[in-house]
Chain A
Amino acid sequence: MTLTSERRRSVGDTQSHRPVPARRHVPLRVRMRRDSALLVMVAPAVVLLAIFAYVPMAGNVIAWQFYSPYTGFFNSPWVGWDNFERVLNNPQFLDAVQNTLAITAFQLVFFFPIPIALALLLNSVLSPRVRMTIQSIVYLPHFFSWVLVVTVFQQIFGGAGLVNQFLRSNGYAGFDLMTNPDTFLGLVTMQAVWKDAGWGIIIFLAAISTVSNEHYEAAVMDGANRWRRMWHITLPAMRPVIILLLILRLGDSLTVGFEQLILQRGAVGAEVAEVIDTFVYYQGVIYTDWSFAAAAGLMKGVVSLVLVLGANKLAHVFGESGVYKRA
């Protein structure tokens, strides 16, 4: 029979009325036998993560090397910070950073509010059946792959797509939204909205559902109409989630849809569609400048980490629980 240490302590506590030491010492050998099953259970996941997450982390040392697949990790010459300097002096990289930030900023302004608005709208639908049906339909595209989303957009907005088909049959000139660099920001944002806005609703609806009806009743007694109720009750209830997601999005700002952009980079050109992730892919895998690409990727990773931790800190400052709780 095995008991957890907590359980053992609480049992002892009720029987003897003496104060028990805060942590009862359980010998290592006993703990090992007691928890061996648990350790075996965790082992496969730990092994997989060790190989496919931690070994590559160490593999980032090639950023300080002149790596070549022929010499390998151990025999490639060390070059210090050269690769990082090359990255920072590379105009294409700076363009990629700029594009990344532009896309993030654009999506923040034009994508972020939409799920909130949709959640408010859906919440005002009285029939649960209608509400659930709409919700299920709207978040279906979240489960589509980016290849599929881009394909769907091409069939609708592409040069031979439905919109152009309609325009031309009515005597207007066609246009190709899919290959136009000027409207690319709008296009990628539209795609993101189509794919994920419905999914975003879930969390906001959950936040709304925590509001008790008594608040609304009280507000009505005070003469608040439905707009004032939304403004003074529903929105404040959503505030914590909104702030949390906003901060997280800011923390994640160097990562924009990798697959989405790599799929469309060919059609609109690197000028507007190159982001940090696609830059790393092309420099490394396509042009096989491994060390250079690893340095670019590592810089992105480190800056992202700082941003996420900073964002989390910010969330704590705002009194939210953040991604993880402070110990």
Chain B
Amino acid sequence: MSIRIDPELVPAPDDGVRRKSGRRRHPLRPAWDEEPSRAGVTVKATVLVVVVLTVVFPLYTILLTSLSTRDSTIRAGGMMVWPDELTWGAYSTILGGGIVTRAMLVSIGVTAVGTLISTAVSVLAAYGLSRTGSLLHRPILFVFLITMFFGAGLIPTYLLVSTLGLIDSYWALILPGAVSAFNILILRNFFQGIDAGILDAARIDGAGDWRILWTIVLPMSKAATAVIALFYGVGYWNAFFNAMLYINDNTKWPLQLVLRSYVLQGASLPGSQDMGDVASGATTGLPVQMAVVVLAVLPIVLVYPFVQKHFTKGVIAGAIKG
């Protein structure tokens, strides 16, 4: 990550502002900004550290517990705070075939296919709607907008999905929420921000809309497209309610449902060696449960750093301009 320092923010060496004795001035502090008091800095730092810890600490104990042996979690009385006897045992248990492995594959498959479909459909629609004044432009835009304000409701949607025979089909996890008008409008906004001159030049050179989208618009809006794809991807990966509604067959469960049944509700994990052990309170060993949690977080934590820097732009473009 490269950091640019705004030259305006760097004060001249002799800025004439009174400083408290003995401390070096922060190089980024504007000349007019007075030095904060020591107590102020301490309070601020404490609050920020606590805030960061509330996120980091639970993730840390979960990861640590998943890497521990069941005996050490029983000795510790539950979640691990200090490392003791680390092992990959829990992971080899759940990834050695069985319901968690299958759920993982289902989640990966649904996320991959769903994200691909959603992103492709959204990019196309966003470009199709980005030229004001084209045929049917306003009515189609209106059709999209209405879905943002009025949802059809759970019951009719459920009945439709079951009428279409999609119960227990992976398509039920993808199709009902495949496109979001909101994401399309964010992308459309972004596309409209592209200088019209470039597009006109391409048109004069004989490029049609397909070619313009593929060779000019898409390469210029990689960041926005990546953010939208991530939004869809995270949505598919995290989808729990649709799976709960439409997937009754537990061999077809995605990871989130496995997480709910075997970790949150503590049902015993079929096919795991820990089955039948009720001593620790949870029927499946705690490390195994926490390993499932880690698997559910892992893809998000892995992809996140790459797309994270584009969020602010994408979110603001969508939220403020709308």
Taking beta carbons and an 8 Å cutoff, which residues of A are in contact with B? 1-7, 28, 31-32, 34-35, 37-42, 44-46, 48-49, 51-60, 62, 69, 118, 121-122, 124-129, 132, 134, 136-141, 143-148, 150-152, 154-156, 160-162, 164-165, 168-169, 194, 198, 202-203, 205-206, 213, 216-217, 220, 225-226, 241, 258-259, 262-263, 266, 277, 280-281, 284-285, 290, 293-294, 297-298, 300-301, 305, 308-309, 321-325
Taking the closest CB of chain A, its distance from the CB of B179, in whole angstroms, is 5
Taking the closest CB of chain A, its distance from the CB of B289, in whole angstroms, is 8
Residues in B with CB closer than 8 Å to A259 are 240-241
Contact A128 B209 (CB under 8 A): no
Contact A217 B152 (CB under 8 A): no
Contact B54 A48 (CB under 8 A): no
Confirm or deny: B300 has a beta carbon within 8 angstroms of a beta carbon on chain A.
yes
Contact B300 A305 (CB under 8 A): no
Residues in A with CB closer than 8 Å to B315 are 202-203
State the CA gap A57–B213 with chains docked (Å): 33
Taking the closest CB of chain B, its distance from the CB of A9, in whole angstroms, is 10
Interface stretch of the complex, out of B90-98, B200-208, B219-227, B269-277: B200-208
Taking the closest CB of chain B, its distance from the CB of A272, in whole angstroms, is 19
Q: Which residue of A lies closest to B292 (CB)?
A: A151
Confirm or deny: B156 has a beta carbon within 8 angstroms of a beta carbon on chain A.
yes
Residues in B with CB closer than 8 Å to A58 are 156
Confirm or deny: B157 has a beta carbon within 8 angstroms of a beta carbon on chain A.
yes
Contact A49 B322 (CB under 8 A): no
Taking the closest CB of chain A, its distance from the CB of B271, in whole angstroms, is 21
Residues in B with CB closer than 8 Å to A51 are 160, 175
Tell me how many residues of B have a C-beta within 8 Å of chain A: 108
Contact B128 A41 (CB under 8 A): yes
State the CA gap A54–B304 with chains docked (Å): 34
Asked if A309 meets B149 with Cβ closer than 8 Å, knowing A31-B135, A147-B260, A220-B32, the reply is yes
Residues in B with CB closer than 8 Å to A321 are 322
State the total of A-B contacts with C-beta under 8 angstroms. Answer: 289
Contact A280 B204 (CB under 8 A): no
Q: Which of B52, B145, B301, B316 contacts A324 (CB 8 A)?
A: B145
Scoring B residues 144 to 157 as 1 if CB is less than 8 Å from chain A, else 0, what string do you get? Answer: 11011111111111
Residues in B with CB closer than 8 Å to A305 are 149-150
Taking beta carbons and an 8 Å cutoff, which residues of B are in contact with A? 1, 3, 5, 8-9, 26, 28-30, 32-34, 36, 44, 47-48, 51-52, 54-56, 58-59, 61-62, 76-79, 81, 121-122, 124-125, 127-129, 131, 133-136, 140, 143-145, 147-160, 162, 175-179, 181, 184, 200, 203-204, 206, 208-210, 213, 234, 237-241, 244-245, 256, 259-260, 263-265, 281-282, 290, 293, 296-297, 300-301, 304-305, 308, 311-312, 315-316, 319-320, 322
Q: Which of A60, A165, A194, A216 contacts B156 (CB 8 A)?
A: A60
State the CA gap A143–B111 with chains docked (Å): 14
Taking the closest CB of chain A, its distance from the CB of B287, in whole angstroms, is 12
Taking the closest CB of chain B, its distance from the CB of A165, in whole angstroms, is 5
State the CA gap A250–B180 with chains docked (Å): 22
Contact A277 B135 (CB under 8 A): no
Contact A144 B128 (CB under 8 A): no
State the CA gap A4–B237 with chains docked (Å): 40
Taking the closest CB of chain B, its distance from the CB of A210, in whole angstroms, is 10
Residues in B with CB closer than 8 Å to A308 are 149
Contact B140 A42 (CB under 8 A): yes
State the CA gap A126–B10 with chains docked (Å): 11
Sample of 6 A–B contacts (CB below 8 Å): A3-B200, A39-B128, A42-B124, A56-B157, A62-B155, A226-B34
Taking the closest CB of chain A, its distance from the CB of B312, in whole angstroms, is 6
Taking the closest CB of chain B, its distance from the CB of A206, in whole angstroms, is 5
Asked if A294 meets B156 with Cβ closer than 8 Å, knowing A46-B143, A206-B316, A262-B241, the reply is yes
State the CA gap A180–B160 with chains docked (Å): 37
Q: Which residue of A lies closest to B245 (CB)?
A: A285
Residues in A with CB closer than 8 Å to B47 are 121
Contact A42 B77 (CB under 8 A): no
Taking the closest CB of chain B, its distance from the CB of A217, in whole angstroms, is 5
Residues in A with CB closer than 8 Å to B311 are 139, 202
Contact B319 A56 (CB under 8 A): no
